[in-house]
Amino acid sequence: MCDKKEENIIYKNIDKLNSLLQNQNIQEMMYLLGSKKEIIQRNFLAGIFRGIGIGIGVTIITAILLILLRKIVTLNIPVIGEYISDIVEIVERNGKTY
């Protein structure tokens, strides 16, 4: 078991941790109670950049998938190749209409 000195050190550390957690909670509350205009502006910008990021990510992933599908078509696998070539044609046809 631990002696009184070690026990006091543990209690002091727990108190420090408790006060740090309380201060962090107060900072979060102050942010929420702060300027509504600033909060709206920050969330608006975050939403715009999140949308742009999703758009870019989906475009890159789709391009990679199309490249992979084209490579599978060139392997001339009977059933899968025809199905995938139809998908690639549909995507390319719809991409050119915009």
Q: Is residue 17, in this structure, part of any structural domain at all?
A: no
Query: In this structure, how many other beta carbons lie within 10 angstroms of the beta carbon of residue 21?
Result: 10
Per-residue pLDDT of the chain (98 residues; tens, 9 = 90+): 568 888 888 888 888 888 877 777 777 777 777 778 888 888 899 999 999 999 999 999 999 988 888 887 777 777 777 777 788 888 888 876 55
Q: What is the pLDDT of residue 58?
A: 95
**Structural domain range at position 82:** 50-98
Q: What is the pLDDT of residue 18?
A: 81
- How many distinct structural domains can be found in the chain? 1
The pTM score is 0.49
Q: Is residue 82, in this structure, part of any structural domain at all?
A: yes
Q: What is the pLDDT of residue 61?
A: 95
Q: Is residue 27, in this structure, part of any structural domain at all?
A: no
Q: Is residue 64, in this structure, part of any structural domain at all?
A: yes
